[in-house]
Amino acid sequence: MTPEQIAMWTDKGIEWALLGGQALLVLVIGWIVSNMFYSRTVAMIQARGLDLALGRFLAQMVRWSILGATIIAALGIVGVEVMGLMAVFASAGVAVGLALQGNLSNFASGVMILIFRPFDVGDVITAGGSTGGVQEIGLFATTLHTPGNEKIIVPNSAITGGSIENLTTLGIRRAAIDVGVAYGSDAVKVMGILKEAADSCDLVIGEPATAVAFTGLGASSVDFTVLVWAKSGDWVGVQGQVRHACYDALNEAGIDIPFNQIVVHNA
């Protein structure tokens, strides 16, 4: 090897070393900056009361975006043609997006749920065709626990794609108990008895007040509806308690509760 060639390769080695050092410096700075942004993003999300899982995911997105830009910049410094590489990554991203279209829809819906919080863990909701207590809110699906001790996993897109009925978020719920009495009974007296019986139940709250409505004239009974309010957690129990109290009060007052009967006559 001639002295000129040695000098040329020496110059190229120095140039590559300098470029490699610059690229390494860019990678180190990018790594430090990405970690800083990760920590700050998580802290900001927690300060705003958003879900920690969502916060960490968004922080990771920010982190990997910074690292990706840093890697591309470092490759550009050492002379790699990054435009073609970016085109390959973009094509791969489109293909992956089409393959995971359903999962991406569930993910986007999960992000919306975690940001806008139409319900929280512990709430009882009706959504996506299912009713139950919210056990877990994930990025792709929400887990419900039904009163029958069943575990239902509902895709988030099914939840956000329709109406969401939150049964517990307001703290109290109204229960409607239907009662029928025999024809010939004093309607005003019956309404007073039903209201007094409902108000005697300890699960019934006083405000809003109990109401009794005269709802109809049935085939074999005069129909009333007792409207009571209770705490959301007592909604099921208050119905049984009020029915029991109304039944006992009507029997004590001598008011008949009709039932279907079949009379057979011999020819």
Domain 172-252, CATH among 3.40.50.970, 3.40.50.720, 3.30.200.20, 3.30.70.100:
3.30.70.100
pLDDT attached to residue 213: 94
What's residue 19's pLDDT?
A: 67
Q: Give the model's pLDDT for residue 187.
A: 92
Are residues 178 and 215 in contact, defined by beta-carbon separation less than 8 angstroms?
yes
CATH number listed for the domain at residues 3-99: 1.10.287.1260
pLDDT at residue 263, rounded to an integer: 54
pLDDT at position 181? 93
pLDDT digits (tens, 9 = 90+) for 206-258: 888 999 999 988 888 899 999 999 998 888 889 999 999 999 999 999 988 88
Inter-CA distances, 91 with 94, 100, 159, 225, Å? 5, 14, 31, 64
pLDDT at 100: 46
The span from the CA of 179 to the CA of 243, in Å, is 8
Q: Which residues are CB-neighbours of 188 under 8 A, at least 6 positions away?
A: none
Where in the chain are the domains? 3-99, 118-166, 172-252
Specify the pLDDT at position 61.
Answer: 73
What's the CA gap between 65 and 84, in Å, rounded? 19
State in words which class domain 118-166 has.
mainly beta
Phi, psi (5° rounding) for residue 68?
-65, -45
**pLDDT by position in tens, the chain (length 267):** 566 656 655 656 666 667 677 778 888 888 888 888 878 877 776 676 666 666 666 777 777 778 877 877 777 776 666 666 566 566 655 554 554 455 678 888 888 887 788 888 888 899 988 888 888 887 788 899 987 888 999 998 899 888 898 888 888 989 999 999 999 899 999 999 999 999 999 999 988 899 999 998 888 889 999 999 999 888 888 999 999 999 999 999 998 888 765 556 665
Residue 128's pLDDT is 87
Give which of 206, 201, 203, 181 is closest to 191, Cα–Cα.
181
Phi/psi at 255 (nearest 5 deg)?
A: -95, 125
